[in-house]
Structure 1
Amino acid sequence: MRLKSKKKTECWRIPKLKMDSNWVSKHKKLNKNFNLDRNLRKNGSKSDFCLKCKGIRLLCGKTRCPLLIRINHFLKIVPLISNKDISGVSPPSVFIGRIGYPYVYAGPLVPPIHEDTSFFDCPEEWFGKSIDQIVSFRSLLIRGKKRVHAKKFSESGRMYEKILELALADKSVDTELEFIKKPKGSIFIDNNAQPFGPSAVLKKMKISNSKFDYRIERAYFDTDLKSNQAIIDLYSRGVRVSKIQKVFSVGALGIKKNRRLVPTRWSITAIDDII
């Protein structure tokens, strides 16, 4: 009796395109550097389309392949990262991971440029911009990360305080980051997360003096106000939804004993449900 051979698992390979793109011809190297196979499979069924499509059939329904767009812009930012430290103007922006919860990676998002970056992390201002424009400036955001406990974040000391200050800041903040290793890129597809650039574990972090929005500052210091009510109050007072999501994710709202870090993805969903 002959046994049927198991179907081989499809692997991602960047397709050969007719357009003049030198980076496409180096698909094996890109596949290794950006961990495409691992990251696509990590997302389960959501990445099945990517594995089958390979950027040609556009099974996701989009007019252009989001993965190929990200890779293209990733390659443009690589030359800007030459060592283990960067300085730039944060929008301001922070990102809280979800893998390994309650032990998560938290940290700032900082582009290696010194100009107006306020719209980099403000979806409300993206209306009218093309996918290429959005991915382009989002790919400039380099993520610094520090592993902390979601419920014991205060034990992280001064590092968490700086991340908190950055999240509460009303305007862009000059930021300097020093990493343990040089930031590396990682490409993944996720409909619930905004793209950003390379990342690395933080060693040191410096930020300039920042000013808080009085509405957010008031909610932060009111440690007897429940988070649901604080969110509704901030929204009714005209605070942008994206800002509320950011403040909520760093554990700055709610009754003091119940405050904790909330992964960015969960924060976005929670705020949308409450509002």
Structure 2
Amino acid sequence: MRKKFTKKVKARLPWLEHVSESPAIGELIPISHENLKLRAGKNLCLLCRGSKLLCGRPTCPILMKAKVFSEKLNLLESERIEGSSPPAVFVGRIGYPYVRAGPLIPQELGDTSLYDRPEAWFGMSLESILEFRLGLVRGTFPVDVRRPEKAGRLMEGTLEMALSEISVDSETKFKKKPKKIFLLDDEIQPMGPLAPLEDMKIYSIRSDSRMEKAFEDTDLKAQTAVVELYRNGVEVSRIQRAFSVGAFGLKTQRRLVPTRWSITAVDDILGVWLRERYVKDKPFLDEYRVYLLEAYGNKWALIMIPGPWRYESIEAWYPGTTWNPDGESIAFIADYEEHWGRKGYASMGGCYYAARLAVLEKLNEEGRQATVLVLREIHRDSLLPLGVWLVRESVRAALKRRPEKFQDLKDALRLVSSFLNIPLKYWRGISVTLRDISRRQHLEPYLS
């Protein structure tokens, strides 16, 4: 029997619902033990991923272990820093709606855009990514997400940074020396030391005219702004950054959105738009395709099957990996949607929406629709959580490769089986898509 991972969320964020057609958007909220019901056996880590503390501990022991990397970094010895923000900003979620937000600034002047541009990271070494990400100092100040203007000049400066198209020179004064606290998370990019912000002066601002137009239009819904910026060539990560500081939406509905939630919200908005507007009414793919990729301790197998749009993503976490640290067996988690989409928030979190966006981009590019199955193995050499960007960019990279093409699903699955370490029978046992196709093929002789 297929293992089920279920959750029920009572608390909602109704103000988020205007930005997406997906009703799941209102469920992006920290979950407590009181409003969560699930059946997950020993795989709490897989569902939690350090965000919900389902184990009952005050902090995530897995993410604490990852902080050993902090030993390699030089800490600031002063309450002042001069540096060029990539630009990059961060909005926290702890204590929502009263959170801490602020800019991310390295101890370096000049063009630092690469520090916060996930679209350019794929293919870089893990050490390189961590080196510049953990070198970003998080300056934070308290803010009410519903009334960000009350945070004054610090919020104004953070907003200006988020809209800039070039690195922003700054002089920053902290209330005390940055703490040796580093953020390593499966949803967002790694971030470096933390310090409460006292004052900030910024220079060399050059706002992106496309962003500025969306920001100034207070009659434009946030969802429409996200789509228009994407259509005009603005990178997804830049849209997510501006979305998090409440730069889009109707005047009375603008809010800060915690970085974790803004990443998934934008991926979902764009995915739904591509699916409904450009993919679902296109001709079926006329062949079976397999795309394979191995990178960062992950193995990816993407299978495109002729037929109506349908999407399923399955992850297999090996024992000793980030979200299956103490397991004795491989832990699977899966989510899928039918042709009409899905109603609830995917239990596997932002990875589901990030991979779906990359898949829909490819189908839109080719003017086709297909049933798509994304299989991912996470092996022990996948050392640290790097963020959802890794999923989006890995799937994009896989889909840029030349696929293997087949006229029969069995041949396609035979190739997948030879590439992945886990025997095909286990994937079959979990996949709703493969089970339904098998059932349909079994019934076809009788129906004809």
TM-score normalized by the length of structure 1: 0.75
Is 1:77 aligned to residue 73 of structure 2?
A: yes
- Mapped pair 1:156 → 2:171: no
Distance 2:106 2:62 in 1: 33
Match in the other structure for 1:262: 257
Counterpart of 2:180, as a letter, is G
TM-fit CA distance, 1:189 = 4.3
User: Matches of 2:149 and 2:237 in 1, distance apart?
Assistant: 24
Q: Which ranges of 4 or more aligned residues in structure 1 deviate by more than 6 Å? A: 52-55
CA distance in 1, matches of 2:262, 2:218: 19
1:176 Cα deviation (Å)? 1.3
Alignment of 1:221-260 (within 5 A): 221-260=216-255
Answer yes or no: is the 8 Å Cα contact 1:90–1:117 preserved in 2.
Answer: yes
Assess if the C-alpha contact under 8 Å between 2:182 and 2:193 holds in 1. no
Q: Within 5 Å, give how 1:72-221 maps onto structure 2.
A: 72=69, 74-79=70-75, 81-187=76-182, 189-221=184-216
1:273 and 1:52, CA in 2 relative to 1: closer, same or farther beyond 3 A?
Answer: closer
Structure 1 CA distance, aligned partners of 2:170 and 2:64? 38
CA deviation profile, 1:153-211 (whole Å, cap 9, x unmatched): 11112111111100001100111111111001224542112111111110001100311
Residue ranges of structure 1 left out of the alignment (5+ in a row): 1-39, 56-66
Query: SS at 2:185's partner residue?
Result: coil
CA gap 1:53/1:77 in 2 versus in 1, 3 angstroms: closer
Partner Cα distance (1:201, 1:182) in 2: 9
How high is the sequence identity, in percent, across the aligned residues?
48
Contact kept in structure 2, 1:47 and 1:189, CA below 8 Å: no
- Which is bigger in relative contact order (C-alpha 8 A, separation at least 6)? 1
TM-score (norm 2): 0.47
Aligned to 2:42: none
Q: 3-state DSSP class of the match of 1:105?
A: strand
Measured in 1, the distance between the counterparts of 2:64 and 2:188 equals 21
In 1, distance between residues paired with 2:165 and 2:256? 20
What's the offset of the Cα at 1:52?
Answer: 8.3
Q: Mark the runs of 5 or more structure 2 residues left unpaired by the alignment.
A: 1-48, 271-448
Letter in 2 for 1:76: K
Larger Rg: 2
SS in 1 for 2:74: helix
* 1:58 corresponding residue in structure 2: none
Q: Distance in 2 between matches of 1:42 and 1:204?
A: 30
